Chain A
Amino acid sequence: MNTNSNTYTIVYSAIIVILVAAILAFASMALKPKQDANIKAETISQMLTAAQFYTKEECDEMGNDKVLEAYSKNIKRAFVINAQGDSTRALGTEAKNIELQDGLKAQDLAIKNGKNMELPVYVFEKDGKEITVIPCYGNGLWGPIWGYLAFNEDLKTFLGAYFDHDSETPGLGAKIKDDPDFRAKFIGKIADFSQVPVFDIVKTGTKKNQPNAIDGISGATITTNGLRDAVNTWLIAYKPYFEK
């Protein structure tokens, strides 16, 4: 058979591509539930890390099921708010039926368009005190960045924060996730709604006694600016809720 004829080449390529596509589609469908469970546990462990229940490493060691249990044990209530800051819908918090408001990208768009907002609020309880965790989402240098911000009972003081990213530069922008010292800078700072920006991440160094700002990361200006915008956009969206 002439393997160099045009017809053979075209038919052969088509068959190979269809075959490979079928194998990949099958693998993707078969593994999807497991992958989704991993992503859910990852999201929850990011929240637990931000709220200072565990460190991220402890969460990773616990495994998916225990992370879900820990969430269920420590959460007090979870719900979705609208643009006016009113709760519109409760989210399930039982270990078997944990509901998260995923799709932060869609919510980010809703905030920017100013309509159809359905922002999640997760209220945890630790030693009788309420901890409120809210997400944020924005753009870094190469792709999306997102994270969770945890607030004390006064809904003003940061208790902690955790950030993640899709494809920031390792060693530079990726430090928003990899460098615990950067995350630790948030602790004890405040979100000051009377100022613009509400919370600042400064390239040139913070001024003394500036409670609503932290230093940025050297060599990662665009990532940290993106993070500042993400935090501010989302904090302002939550302002009506926070001020109630």
Chain B
Amino acid sequence: MNAKLKETILNPIFKNNPITVLILGICSALAVTVEMKGALVMSISVIIVTGVSSFILSLIRNTIPNRVRIIVQLVVVAMMVILVDQILKAYAYGIEKQLSVYIGLIITNCIVMGRIEAFALGNKPIPSLLDGLANGVGYGLILVVVAIFREIFGSGTLFGVQIIPQSLYEAGYVNNGLTILPPMAMILIGVIIWIQRGIQKDLQE
């Protein structure tokens, strides 16, 4: 694997993470991270949408008329999102209901359009696919980390399985109510950004 391709894959996951560095896709990161199950399905949906839309648009990039460029991108992204939504409705109905509007809102997720504009329209299909997938993974990684904290401390469970032992509850332990509300997700993402900037000095302003 050449160095450039490696960078394409690894950059979005940590050094140039869409959530913590580019601050994109925050809305859904706050909303769907109460439980691991929802966060994981949301992450997989975003990975598929960013990856496949980048791939398709990169394939047809030389034929797209410049004046309707954004509209063509939107049509392809919207198609992918509707497909994902329809498939979830058929095979994971409960989770689809739980994620409700946020699946549909992937269309407006800046990560998707941002990667297409910035990368897919200027690169070959395979690197574009990898770039899209990697950005989705970078997004999903933060979602999963936040969801782990929120589910353990908010509900005492992980994937719906009880983690915090019953004896602790009997001894007077109480789930943290703030953790299941969106403000805690904001605080957690802030802490993650703080840690990342501590490690990566070049991000400090």
Number of inter-chain CB pairs below 8 Å = 61
Is B100 located at the chain interface by the 8 A CB criterion?
A: yes
B59-83 to A contact mask, C-beta < 8 Å, 1/0: 0001111111001100110110011
Is A60 located at the chain interface by the 8 A CB criterion?
A: yes
State A60–B92 Cα separation when bound (angstroms).
11
Query: Which of these binds chain B: A19-27, A130-138, A191-199?
Result: A19-27
| Beta-carbon contact of B75 and A60 below 8 Å | no
> Which residues of B are interface residues toward A (Cβ below 8 A)?
31, 62-68, 71-72, 75-76, 78-79, 82-83, 86-87, 89-91, 93-94, 97, 100-101, 181
Chain B residues whose CB sits within 8 angstroms of the CB of A4 once the complex forms: 65-67
State A9–B181 Cα separation when bound (angstroms).
47
Total number of A residues with any Cβ neighbor in B under 8 Å: 23
Is A55 located at the chain interface by the 8 A CB criterion?
A: no
| Distance from A195 Cβ to chain B, minimum over Cβ atoms (Å) | 36
| Beta-carbon contact of A24 and B79 below 8 Å | yes
| Beta-carbon contact of B79 and A23 below 8 Å | yes
Chain A residues whose CB sits within 8 angstroms of the CB of B97 once the complex forms: 42
| Distance from A21 Cβ to chain B, minimum over Cβ atoms (Å) | 9
Is A167 located at the chain interface by the 8 A CB criterion?
A: yes
Known A13-B72, A34-B90, A38-B89: A3·B83 in contact at CB below 8 Å? no
Find residues 1-23 in chain A having any chain B CB closer than 8 Å to their own CB. Answer: 3-4, 8-9, 12-13, 16-17, 20, 23
| Beta-carbon contact of B79 and A35 below 8 Å | no
| Beta-carbon contact of A12 and B64 below 8 Å | yes
| Beta-carbon contact of B72 and A27 below 8 Å | no
| Beta-carbon contact of B101 and A31 below 8 Å | no
Known A16-B72, A27-B83: A3·B90 in contact at CB below 8 Å? no
Is A28 located at the chain interface by the 8 A CB criterion?
A: yes
| Distance from B181 Cβ to chain A, minimum over Cβ atoms (Å) | 8
